[in-house]
Amino acid sequence: MVSDKIKELAAAKARVTELESTIAAELRSELAALPARFGFADTRSFLIAVKAASGKRRGRKPGAAKAATPKRRKRAKITDATRASVKTLAEEGKTGNEIAKSLGISLPSVQNIKKALGLVRKKKN
């Protein structure tokens, strides 16, 4: 019957929950015992040794200047005024590059605005 299957399922779920908590407790105790097992006095010195043994450095090198990374452009805010300007300039015959430079937005943004306004002709195959 269905009720027997539901009871069986509930018992299985309870067993899974019990197993998960048992595994978590055993894992914590095994991890806590690792430093002593390998002859280290404390966890910090054990972690330093593990990092040194891996041979890989993560993150920035010490002393690396933050300015060494190229600056990212701020994301342009496309407003209704920007859309109107794109439309006006496009109708005046300006190129996409000219429009992008004059408004301070990217060429793909200009193209997307023109497409949304229906100012782009479809390519003929």
| Matching residue, tokens 């793909």 | 108
Q: What is the pLDDT of residues 27-52, one digit of tens each?
A: 999 988 888 888 988 888 888 888 88
CB 109 within 8 A of CB 97: no
pLDDT value of position 2: 87
To 5 degrees, how large is the angle CA 101–CA 102–CA 108?
A: 45
Q: What is the pTM of this model?
A: 0.41
What phi and psi values does residue 47 have, to the nearest 5 degrees? -65, -40
pLDDT greater at residue 60 or residue 106: 106
Q: How far is CA 54 from the centre of its chain?
A: 25
Q: What is the pLDDT of residues 66-83, one digit of tens each?
A: 555 677 767 778 899 999
